[in-house]
Amino acid sequence: MKRILTVLSLGLLIAGLGLGCRKPKTVDKTIVSSVLMATADKQMKQGKFAEARLTLRQLEQYLPGSPEFPKAKLMLGDSFFFQSSPSFPEAEVEYTSFLNYFPRHELRDYALYHRALCHFSSIESAERDQTETRKALEGFQQLLAESPGSPYAGEAKAKVVQCWRRIAEHELVVGVFYVNVYYYPGAERRLKALLETYPDYVDRERAYFYLGEAMRQRLLSQEEVAQFEKDYAAKLQKEDLKSLTREQGEQFTKDFTTYTTDRIKNFRDEAKSYYQKLVESYPGSEWARRAADRLVTMGTDGVKEDLDS
């Protein structure tokens, strides 16, 4: 009932001032826009966000050229952002609309910051898709690039770090998952890319340990075997290995065995290197102790004793 009365009263106000049907010869739109803005502002402060939106929509619809129009566009975003049950997607739409309407407005940094916050507030756990995290990161970076002196720059910088950490954590979670489901080539690619791409944000203890785990158990993938066979056939100037002579087949078996043995040895040596990095860089951690146990099992003498001493 209150909403209906609000709509009616606003309609009467606008109609009475000539904005509803016919316009009288003299209408002071400044007074109308000021009244609507004052009403919306009061409603926002009282927590009546739905009613404030109705008021602001009237101003948006009938007075797009008024001095209050930019603030009304911004307040529409705030009405969704600050209500008791925020609707961040709708808030993001309104902040984007403001930025499109007023690309050089003095409050652009406010809109950029709160649009990024809409995505930041919608970030999923590290196990889930990180689309919102990446959008938030882009938003905060845009603010910092455009307005490095903005009063929101400090908070934006802090949230950029949080976004990078969440993305790095997500990549690590995927890598660990691959290890747990025995997909070691995928784990290797994911964890190596993680260490290279996010060196300042990754949890290196877990990354080193699980990369070691992947390489400790890694065998040749089907893709690697297929590539070896393709290259071997090309060396013999054959389309495939089906037409090998007996002697060529025996030589292929020897060469493939040597290749496989060398590759697996390299995998194991690489695993040891990651365990060793963990032991040396984080000697007091539980991950380092687990890595030391792996090194002992793999035949690296003295590591566990040195760590315990």
What is the DSSP secondary-structure string of 193-244? HHHHH-TTTS-HHHHHHHHHHHHHH----HHHHHHHHHHHHHHTT-SSSTT-
More confident residue, 247 or 29: 247
Q: Is there a contact between 172 and 138 (Cβ–Cβ < 8 Å)?
A: no
**Structurally, how many domains does the chain consist of?**
2
Q: What is the pLDDT of residues 2-18, one digit of tens each?
A: 444 344 455 545 544 44
Cα gap 174→211, rounded to integer Å: 12
Query: How many CB atoms neighbour CB 66 within 10 A?
Result: 19
Query: Where residue 256 falls among pLDDT bands split at 50, 70, 90?
Result: very high
| Per-residue model confidence (pLDDT) at position 117 | 98
* Residue 99 to residue 287: CA distance in whole angstroms: 48
Q: Is residue 36 part of a domain?
A: yes
Mean pLDDT of 279-303: 87
Nearest to 179 by CA among 285, 274, 261: 274
Rounded to whole angstroms, how far apart are CA atoms 49 and 212? 54
Q: Is the pLDDT of residue 180 over 80?
A: yes
- 33 within domain boundaries: yes
**What was the pLDDT predicted at 163?**
97
Does residue 78 sit within a domain? yes
pLDDT of residue 8: 41
b/e per residue, 75-111, with b = 16+ CB within 10 A? Answer: bbbbbbbebeebebebbbbbbebbbeebeebeebbbb
In this prediction the pTM is 0.80
In a domain, 50, yes or no: yes
What does the block give as tokens for 60?
């948006």
Count of positions (residues) in the chain: 309
- Spatial CA neighbour of 163 closest among 109, 121, 113: 121
Share of the chain above pLDDT 70, in %: 88
Surface-to-core class of residue 262, CB atoms within 10 Å of its CB (0-12 exposed, 13-18 middle, 19+ buried):
exposed
Domain boundary among 51, 76, 105: 105
Distance between CA atoms of residues 213 and 293, nearest Å: 12
Considering the domain boundaries, does residue 145 fall inside one? Answer: no
Give residues with Cβ within 8 angstroms of 151, minimum separation 6.
109
Tell whether the model's pLDDT for residue 85 goes beyond 50: yes
Asked if residue 296 is part of any domain, the answer here is: yes
Q: Is residue 194 part of a domain?
A: no
For residue 227 the two structure tokens come to 């590539």
pLDDT score recorded for residue 300: 63
Q: Containing domain of residue 257, as a range?
A: 203-308
> Which tokens belong to 254?
């020897």
**Is 66 within a domain?**
yes
pLDDT tens track for 112-159:
999 999 999 999 999 899 999 999 999 999 999 999 999 999 999 999
Query: Which of 58, 76, 105 is the last residue in one of the domains?
Result: 105
Last residue of a domain, one of 43, 77, 105: 105
| Nearest one of 151, 124, 294 to 209, comparing CA atoms | 294
